[in-house]
Homo-oligomer: A and B are copies of this chain.
Amino acid sequence: MAVNLPLPDPAALLPVAGLELGFAEAGIRKAQRKDLLVLRIAPGAAVAGVFTQNRFCAAPVQVCKQHLASSGGEIRALVVNTGNANAGTGAPGLEHARQTCAAVAALLGCAAQQVLPFSTGVILEPLPVDRIQAGLPAAVASLRPDNWYQAAEAIMTTDTQPKAASASVEIDGRKVTLTGISKGAGMIRPNMATMLGFIATDAKVAQPLLERLVKHAADRSFNSISIDGDTSTNDSFILIATGAADVEITDADSPAYRQLEAALTGLSQQLAQMIVRDGEGATKFITITVEQGANEEECRKIGYAIAHSPLVKTAFYASDPNLGRILAAIGYAGVDDLEVDQVDLYLDDVWVARNGGRNPDYQEQDGQRVMRQSEISVRVVLGRGTHSATLWTCDLSHDYVSINADYRS
């Protein structure tokens, strides 16, 4: 069902020196599927992350934040399970997340505080920590630098295919590698980061700069997508800089920093867009651009109102140019002083609405032509400033309902 999303080529996924990945079939929710991932990080790396703003943030998210704060950045491993989100689980959930870290630490010979835990799956059910503990030795035994494809498989839930990509950039005459994985595929309206995204680079980056990089990339990628408008309890996006390559970034004003920032942002966008292309039940990939706003926030508000409207999303699904629904969404987005008679609307190259009303030259068949495409761009021009925002979303289909009505069964 994914929209124009080819499977990643395992051979094109570049190992990142200083990082190994191992996986296991731990039977956490279902038998015979990869559901446990361990990432081992060599000493000397820096790690930064952004996490969900959901007040019901999951136990592993809380433990991640504590370990990042207490370990002084000396993180040595990540552990990820699917099948259970360990969210809405109270004090026992926190204890389970810490037990998971302790088990990884014992196998790898580091402190529990140097392990970051991640969980994704059903909310409000106790984490089967015994199965995770039982599966960890196999995951650790399989640690290898070239396991990125299997790692992407190991974090899938309702995703129909693994999501992974690599990039490389020459900085100061030396090659820097970036490789990342992500997962969706529902409860996606990240509000700091997506469900799960992990990117590693072999550049050496000081902790404050790494934190700045991860926020910059998240805002332009995982924080600019929506599938169903539901912000997950477990969203986490982690950036690891192993420092194994002979390239050190020390200055945010340097060309080297900007090169790494551009490569990282591009890779993050690629991974975020993969989540949308594989959105639950998705048949269309929609790019929404809101231009000429008074500020970026109002552009994002309007973009998200369009992206979240069930009526807009079902019209895309039906290839029905019922485009008044987009105007309605613009109108209720919460921009209280919006002058609608300044608003223009385009669908790809087709000028649909002009000065807040139907463009007299607009022909239904032109809208119809664009709506039939699998990739559609919606462009809203507000005519009140110089700011803009771009978001990515998908349509709402029968299969979305089927997938989410059946998710636990």
Q: Point out residues on A near B: beta carbons under 8 Å.
A: 53-57, 85, 87-93, 122-126, 186-187, 189, 191, 228-233, 308-311, 314-315, 317-318, 320, 322-325, 327-332, 335-336, 338, 340-341, 352-353, 355-358, 396-398, 400-402, 404-409
Instruction: For the A-B complex with A55-B335, A311-B404, A398-B402 known, give 10 more contacts whose Cβ atoms are closer than 8 Å.
Output: A55-B332, A189-B332, A228-B310, A230-B310, A230-B328, A231-B328, A310-B400, A314-B404, A318-B405, A320-B408
Which residues on B sit within 8 Å (CB–CB) of A317?
401, 405
- Contact A56–B408 (Cβ < 8 Å): no
A55 touching B340 in the complex, CB below 8 Å, given contacts A311-B404, A328-B231, A398-B398: yes
- Contact B186–A311 (Cβ < 8 Å): yes
Interchain Cβ contacts under 8 Å between A and B, 14 examples: A53-B332, A54-B331, A54-B332, A56-B356, A88-B324, A90-B357, A92-B357, A187-B311, A187-B325, A228-B309, A231-B332, A233-B327, A318-B409, A398-B401
- Contact B341–A90 (Cβ < 8 Å): yes
- Contact B330–A56 (Cβ < 8 Å): yes
Distance between Cα atoms of A330 and B87 in the complex (Å)? 13
- Contact B407–A322 (Cβ < 8 Å): yes
Report A141 CB to chain B, min CB distance, Å: 33
List the 3 closest pairs (A to B, CB-CB), nearest first. A123-B324, A90-B357, A56-B331
Distance between Cα atoms of A409 and B57 in the complex (Å)? 43
Which residues on B sit within 8 Å (CB–CB) of A408?
320, 322
Which residues on B sit within 8 Å (CB–CB) of A123?
322, 324-325, 327-328
Report A34 CB to chain B, min CB distance, Å: 23
- Contact B405–A314 (Cβ < 8 Å): yes
Please tell me which one of the listed residues B308, B336, B401 contacts residue A397 in the complex, with CB atoms under 8 A apart. Answer: B401
Which residues on B sit within 8 Å (CB–CB) of A325?
123, 187, 230
Report A90 CB to chain B, min CB distance, Å: 3
Which residues on B sit within 8 Å (CB–CB) of A336?
55
Distance between Cα atoms of A107 and B201 in the complex (Å)? 77
- Contact A358–B327 (Cβ < 8 Å): no
Please tell me which one of the listed residues B89, B233, B330, B406 contacts residue A331 in the complex, with CB atoms under 8 A apart. Answer: B233
- Contact B90–A327 (Cβ < 8 Å): no
Report A238 CB to chain B, min CB distance, Å: 21
- Which residue of B has the minimal Cβ distance to A396? B401
- Contact A55–B90 (Cβ < 8 Å): no
Report A197 CB to chain B, min CB distance, Å: 18
Distance between Cα atoms of A402 and B124 in the complex (Å)? 31
Which residues on B sit within 8 Å (CB–CB) of A400?
310, 314, 401
- Contact A324–B87 (Cβ < 8 Å): yes
- Contact A125–B358 (Cβ < 8 Å): yes
Report A295 CB to chain B, min CB distance, Å: 17
- Which residue of B has the minimal Cβ distance to A403? B314
Which of A85, A125, A318, A404 has the most CB atoms of chain B within a 10 A radius of its CB? A404
Report A18 CB to chain B, min CB distance, Å: 35
Distance between Cα atoms of A308 and B332 in the complex (Å)? 15
A54 touching B328 in the complex, CB below 8 Å, given contacts A90-B357, A93-B357: yes
Which residues on B sit within 8 Å (CB–CB) of A85?
324
Distance between Cα atoms of A328 and B57 in the complex (Å)? 8
Which residues on B sit within 8 Å (CB–CB) of A401?
314, 317, 396-398, 400-401
Distance between Cα atoms of A189 and B352 in the complex (Å)? 25
- Contact B187–A55 (Cβ < 8 Å): no
- Contact B56–A340 (Cβ < 8 Å): yes
Which residues on B sit within 8 Å (CB–CB) of A320?
405, 407-409
Which of A230, A308, A331 has the most CB atoms of chain B within a 10 A radius of its CB? A331
A331 touching B55 in the complex, CB below 8 Å, given contacts A88-B356, A310-B230: yes
